[in-house]
Structure formats: C-alpha cells, structure tokens
Amino acid sequence: MYNEKVLKIFENPKNAGLLKGANGVGKVGNMQCGDVMKVYVLVEHDKIKDAKFKTFGCVSAIASSDVACEMIKGKHLDDALKVTNKDVMEALGGLPPQKVHCSVLAQEAIEAAITDYKKSTEKKKK
C-alpha cells in the first residue's frame, strides 16, 4: 500500500520527539481515524530554526509529520505557512488515496504551531 520512501521515513524519522525550547506547539487530530499529531517549532527572528513532531497515528501520518518538519526548517513563517499537503505528498512520493487526509493533518499541525507561536509572542508584547 505504501511506497518505499514512505516506509523508510516511517521506520526512521529524523524529527520525531519533543523539541526543547519550542515556542510554538500545534496539536491537531482527525475525528474519523482518531490519529493525533503534535508539531513543535522553535522560531527565531520569524524563521523556523527547528521543528519536531509527536504523532500517534498511522504510517503515513508519521511520515507526513516528519517530511513536513523537514520542509519548514529554515523557512520564514510566511513561507512555512505556504507548505501544503500536496507538497507533503510530493515529498513522500505519493500516498494512497485513502491516506491523503494524513498529509492534510501535517499541514494543519504546521499552521496550528505557527498560530500558537504568533499568539504567544503577541501576548508577550502586551
């Protein structure tokens, strides 16, 4: 069902785990499958210095989180927000049609983490 790239990333994700010093966290879930994805970002000068994830989910959810974290590292927040689930799927070499929603979860988790960062920095400014 999965291509080799997806399986390789799933077996050996580079960005799994807690990110120490993270200043943005996004938690999203899919009600239908019950999978939950958390993305942590460390933002400095509006750029994503580091990103990690913790995903309780299927093979493609874990692989999607990993490539999504990899893709946003080093990017300006505005550019990171432009990463779509299609980009995630492309980076994975494709996902089975019934697994497209797993890549959507990764896009949503990135958005949630960046929103969380922006909210917390705004609060500090007040």
SS3 5: helix
By CB under 6 A, name the one of 58, 80, 109, 113 that touches ligand FES.
Answer: 58
Rounded CA separation 89/87 (Å): 5
**According to the binding rule CB under 6 A, does residue 13 interact with ligand FES?**
no
Q: How far is the CB of 62 from ligand FES (least distance, A)?
A: 9
Q: Which C-beta is closer to ligand FES: that of 50 or that of 103?
A: 103
Q: Which C-beta is closer to ligand FES: that of 50 or that of 99?
A: 99
Rounded CA separation 60/64 (Å): 6
| Residue located via tokens 């299609």 | 86
SS3 string, 29-65, reads ECCCCCCEEEEEEEEECCEEEEEEEEEECCHHHHHHH
**According to the binding rule CB under 6 A, does residue 9 interact with ligand FES?**
no
Phi-psi region of 66 (alpha: psi -120 to 50; beta: other; left: phi over 0): alpha
**According to the binding rule CB under 6 A, does residue 30 interact with ligand FES?**
yes
The residue number with the shortest CB distance to ligand FES is 33
Q: Which C-beta is closer to ligand FES: that of 43 or that of 99?
A: 99
By CB under 6 A, name the one of 26, 35, 39, 83 that touches ligand FES.
Answer: 35
- Positions that interact with ligand FES (CB under 6 A): 30, 33, 35, 57-58, 60-61, 99, 101-102, 105
